[in-house]
Structure 1
Amino acid sequence: MKISEIFKLNKSQHELDFIDIDLDDELPLFLDAHIFSSKNDPWSEKCDLIIKDFFRKIHETVKLDRKEELYKLCSFLNEPNETCLGRSKGKPRGSFQSTEILIEIFEQLFDIKKRNQKQFQTIETLSDMKFYIDGVGNDTISDIVTNLIRYQLILYTNEQCKLNGIPTEKQISKPYWNDISSRWEKEESINQLIIDGKRILLVPKNIVFSESYYTFTKERFVQHDMLEFLQEKELQVPNSPLIKHRVPKKNQDIGEAFVTKKSIRERDNVDKKQNVLEFSSKYPAIMETFKNKKHFKSLNVAELYKIQEDSFSDDDYNNLLDAFIKTLKSIPSGNKYANDYHEFILGLLTFIFYPSLSHPKKETPIDNARKRIDITYVNTADTGFFCNLKSEITSNYIYVECKNYSDKVSNPEFDQLAGRFNESSSKVGMLVCRKVNDLAYERASGQYRRKKELLLIITDELLISMLNDMKLSEDKSDINILAHEKRLYELKRRIEVERY
């Protein structure tokens, strides 16, 4: 059964921030250190620091020839079965490597250092090992990463359990890496999600990848960046037996020269990891260019359902959007239905603004618990409206206040949200309400001009417009997760120029 079914959350995957795992099976989804290094939200940055500190320790241990210390570092890397992610159980193509095998994998670094110092220095990150070390693939890196960031996943799981009313139990934790002390540690007593005696870790859906959609792989690097470079290089070799010529065009004595990737692959055995390492150490700029490409995109709704082996057609997607609109219209305004509205808006915003906003928390205390916020999201955007905000205004977090008033909101509601802002975390908030008048936009404009604080007024009308913008049509067959954001740009421009 899925988490949503076990705890009767009455929410589907698109309304949840975490992967709705099935405890009876594994989903073929993975974590990669490279993804964290490419993101700039606080949670990802912390995970990146943890992973880099561990690999720095591994690198240092190998550099100093301390094998016994390496064994101790690896001894805490155990099978992380808490996430139910990885190779599916019915397909034994790979599984978590035992501690002994992991030690053997890391021991290869000693041999590389002894053989060639420059090649050893080329292996800079944990994810680099997928390219250069035999026996290391996506599943191995994902499991190591899970072990390292376990504490962050425990904290995230607790947040999501609190958000969705899921009970937790205090237990001793499994080991996690502390990047401050640079060692493995445990929490003696910390709330954890326990189901039938088994620890469960929830994982944010915006950081996992499917091998069908992720391009940070050795195969991709070899096929495109490496072989294309070698093709150009081979064309400069006089009388190379690999050079062929196309059929001459008019006024040509000889056709254009070319070299096939197949001929280079067969001659140089480029797919062998040792040869990829030799190439990268000799031409580091090629690998650096490859790393800087955009390899990761959060899975959209249809892709998530496909991985979970649930059918989800274009019609299903449009019907989902219509269902959101219908439900929004059906919730009466007024204090009596405030909780229904609040819960619905939480799921709706999580869906609409995925993957730009994630890690929602409900009623977050701030300023030493003197103030509370209805919902707080982490700004995890790497493109679009919320990404652009980061360069203009403090917006590491997005604060949300929900007001299910039958009357139009007025100054006190704006003051309540504006009172949450501060320079270190965020000066951006959303006031989600049923309707407003023009004076509300003037109020938001005044706040923006005086203090550079952005109050986004999100009405029923705006939410319905955004949902309609996200619909698929015959000339728009791909789910565009940012199609609706033009409404936010328009809203921001209105607030910037509104007279008051």
Structure 2
Amino acid sequence: MPAITNLTECMELIKPRITDYHGVHKCQADLDFAIQFFNEDIPLYVDPFLLWKSPSQQDQALHTAITNSFNYLNYLLKKKREDAAVNILVNISECSEIGLGVSKTRKGLKIGEKQAQQVLDLFRNISEYGQFGFMHFEVIQLYISGISKDRVSDVACNYIKSFLIDYTVEQCEINGIPVEGVILDSIYGYKEHKLHLNQKVYLPVNPKSKSPIIFTPKRWLRYTPWINFDDY
């Protein structure tokens, strides 16, 4: 069966998926990444706890990168650079490219500065976090109203977006999925702990909107993360 080659064929599918469109005839069990829909999110979330408990050194290192990056916000506060901390937190609070969550359009909203301040206040108001930082940053959802598993997932993915881009390209090469040059609003630089703006990368795209798509390893995904507000 050949790949779908035009938009009319794509739209005839009830829920067009990237694998269907490009003629990748593999089921989810045979792929390392979670198959995404073009037009809406899939109701799964990256659970940072799964990276932490993974036997993979790579996953553990990525969890460390996420945790260190989040705790760097506390360093900025102590250096009287609160505006920089707020700016980073606001801009990493949404990651539409990964297509995870419950949005029917794959487009979500970032948190506002007020909510970012509430998150940063945890470093100020809870001495343990102010002194030692977070071991599992996802516990912030237990303190802050409006911060839940989808937000935690987006923050985690934004912190390691550079890795996920490389992972996506690798999976595209393995499965014969084409990539195109796109401009991402920002990519977090772990070495510098800053956002690099308007970065050109090569990724698979939605054939209609040309919006970039980033894959996530399915081993990181859960519907209900290990640490989540609903259990408390």
The TM-score bracket by the shorter chain reads 0.7 to 0.9
Offset at residue 78 of structure 1 (A): 5.4
Matched, 1:139 2:150: yes
Q: In 2, distance between residues paired with 1:58 and 1:188? A: 23
Offset at residue 28 of structure 1 (A): 1.1
Alignment of 1:348-387 (within 5 A): none
Alignment of 1:329-344 (within 5 A): none
Q: In 2, distance between residues paired with 1:45 and 1:215? A: 16
Matched, 1:190 2:205: no
1:116–1:19: structure 2 CA closer, same or farther, 3 Å change rule? closer
**What TM-score do you get using the length of structure 2 for normalisation?**
0.78
Q: In 1, distance between residues paired with 2:179 and 2:73? A: 34
Amino acid at match of 1:4: T
Offset at residue 171 of structure 1 (A): 3.2
Residue equivalent to 2:98 = 83
Offset at residue 38 of structure 1 (A): 1.9
Q: In 2, distance between residues paired with 1:116 and 1:207? A: 29
Matched, 1:51 2:66: yes
1:216–1:76: structure 2 CA closer, same or farther, 3 Å change rule? closer
Offset at residue 29 of structure 1 (A): 0.5
- Contact 1:108 1:133 (8 Å CA) reproduced: no
What SS is found at the alignment partner of 1:185? strand
RMSD between aligned residues: 2.6
1:396-422, CA deviations, whole angstroms, 9 ceiling, x for partnerless residues?
Answer: xxxxxxxxxxxxxxxxxxxxxxxxxxx
- Contact 2:148 2:228 (8 Å CA) reproduced: no
- Contact 2:89 2:116 (8 Å CA) reproduced: yes
What SS is found at the alignment partner of 1:199? coil
Q: In 2, distance between residues paired with 1:135 and 1:185? A: 27
Matched, 1:25 2:40: yes
What SS is found at the alignment partner of 2:67? helix
- Contact 1:31 1:146 (8 Å CA) reproduced: yes
Q: In 2, distance between residues paired with 1:174 and 1:40? A: 33
Alignment of 1:488-499 (within 5 A): none
1:411-439, CA deviations, whole angstroms, 9 ceiling, x for partnerless residues?
Answer: xxxxxxxxxxxxxxxxxxxxxxxxxxxxx
Q: In 1, distance between residues paired with 2:206 and 2:229? A: 38
Offset at residue 98 of structure 1 (A): 2.8
Q: In 2, distance between residues paired with 1:187 and 1:180? A: 18
Structure having the higher Rg? 1
Residue equivalent to 1:252 = none
What SS is found at the alignment partner of 1:56? helix
Alignment of 1:299-448 (within 5 A): none
- Contact 2:49 2:226 (8 Å CA) reproduced: no
Q: How many equivalent pairs are there?
A: 212
1:103–1:219: structure 2 CA closer, same or farther, 3 Å change rule? closer
- Contact 1:154 1:201 (8 Å CA) reproduced: yes
- Contact 1:170 1:189 (8 Å CA) reproduced: yes
1:132–1:65: structure 2 CA closer, same or farther, 3 Å change rule? farther
What is the identity percentage for the equivalent residue pairs of Structure 1 and Structure 2?
22
Structure 2 unmatched runs, 5+: 1-15
1:32–1:102: structure 2 CA closer, same or farther, 3 Å change rule? farther
- If asked which structure has higher relative contact order (CA below 8 Å, sep 6+), I would say 2
Q: In 1, distance between residues paired with 2:91 and 2:70? A: 14
1:277-313, CA deviations, whole angstroms, 9 ceiling, x for partnerless residues?
Answer: xxxxxxxxxxxxxxxxxxxxxxxxxxxxxxxxxxxxx
Offset at residue 161 of structure 1 (A): 0.6
1:138–1:75: structure 2 CA closer, same or farther, 3 Å change rule? closer
Q: In 1, distance between residues paired with 2:77 and 2:22? A: 47
**What TM-score do you get using the length of structure 1 for normalisation?**
0.39
